[in-house]
């Protein structure tokens, strides 16, 4: 069955942005999120496995799905819903060989050449594109692409498309109007004093956002 996002909000619990990433994940889930990515790029394999197991218990308890950033092996070990890969991670086909056909594989792209190459692999379930705006969530971010670039990507991409990078309550309507299926959010939740409340507010915002018809190619 083709993958779809359960909501147009895709929160990422990033250990770099939280003193306690599991407490952040729990707050995001308490705020109503049903799809959550765990990102801990500086964790050792053992520490990431511990965090992923604990995050899986949290998502299971909330009736949500967990995506592990970067590591298909860890995603398989904890029976996560899937993995999110970057340009320097395992190729999607290799991750698919580890995870099997039923798991979700997302893939990050930062320009049109990367978009076209990713779509050509045929091994991914959703495509991420960004950064849309300037972001502090990556050490060496690619140049901001803006909503105009999203409008170029959308007709090329038959898969669910998620935008990432600098997205918050003030600009998410513009990003959704450009044609994405979901917006990934890190700082607009993690940097607030009440991440659960911020998640609820963002969910309300995405659910009420006008969603114009978008030009999407046939997946056939």
Within-domain flag for 26: yes
Within-domain flag for 144: yes
Within-domain flag for 1: no
pLDDT at residue 219 is higher than 60: no
pLDDT at residue 23 is higher than 50: yes
At residue 17, the pLDDT reads 87
20-38 CB burial, b ≥16 within 10 A, e <16: ebbebbbbbbebbbbbbbb
pLDDT at residue 218 is higher than 50: yes
Within-domain flag for 219: no
Give residue-wise pLDDT tens across range 159-195: 999 999 999 999 999 999 999 999 999 999 999 999 9
Within-domain flag for 4: no
pTM of the model: 0.94
Longest distance between any two alpha carbons in the chain, whole Å: 45
At residue 210, the pLDDT reads 83
**CB under 8 A, 24+ apart: contacts of 103-107:** 103/75, 103/76, 104/3, 104/65, 104/67, 105/72, 106/67, 106/82, 106/162
Within-domain flag for 218: no
Within-domain flag for 3: no
Give residue-wise pLDDT tens across range 28-80: 999 999 999 999 999 999 999 999 999 999 999 999 999 999 999 999 999 99
| Catalytic residue annotation | 39, 108, 138
Residue 63 CA, chain-centre distance (Å), reads 18
Q: Which domain holds residue 157?
A: 9-208
Give residue-wise pLDDT tens across range 107-151: 999 999 999 999 998 899 999 999 999 877 666 778 899 999 999
pLDDT at residue 215 is higher than 50: yes
- Burial tier of 159 (Cβ tally within 10 Å: 0-12, 13-18, 19+): buried
Number of domains in the chain: 1
- Higher-pLDDT residue of 45, 220: 45
The CATH number of the domain holding residue 154 is: 3.20.20.70
Within-domain flag for 215: no
């Amino acid at each position: 069955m083709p993958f779809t996002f359960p909501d147009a909000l895709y929160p990422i619990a990033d250990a770099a942005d939280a003193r306690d990433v599991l407490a952040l994940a729990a707050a995001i889930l308490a705020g109503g999120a049903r799809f959550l990515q765990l990102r801990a790029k500086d964790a050792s394999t053992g520490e990431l496995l511990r965090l992923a197991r604990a995050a899986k218990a949290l998502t299971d308890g909330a009736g949500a799905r967990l995506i592990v950033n970067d590591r298909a092996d860890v995603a398989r070990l904890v029976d996560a819903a899937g993995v999110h890969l970057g340009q320097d991670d395992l190729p999607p086909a290799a991750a698919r060989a580890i995870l099997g056909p039923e798991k979700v594989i997302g893939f990050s792209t930062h320009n049109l050449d990367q978009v076209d190459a990713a779509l050509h692999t045929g091994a991914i379930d959703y495509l991420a594109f960004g950064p849309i705006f300037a972001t502090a969530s990556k050490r060496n971010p690619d140049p901001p692409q803006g909503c105009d670039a999203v409008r170029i990507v959308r007709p090329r991409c038959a898969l669910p498309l998620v935008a990432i990078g600098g997205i918050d309550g003030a600009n998410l309507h513009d990003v959704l109007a450009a044609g994405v299926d979901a917006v990934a959010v890190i700082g607009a939740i993690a940097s607030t004093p009440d991440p659960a409340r911020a998640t609820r507010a963002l969910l309300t915002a995405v659910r009420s956002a006008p969603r114009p018809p978008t030009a999407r190619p046939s997946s056939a």
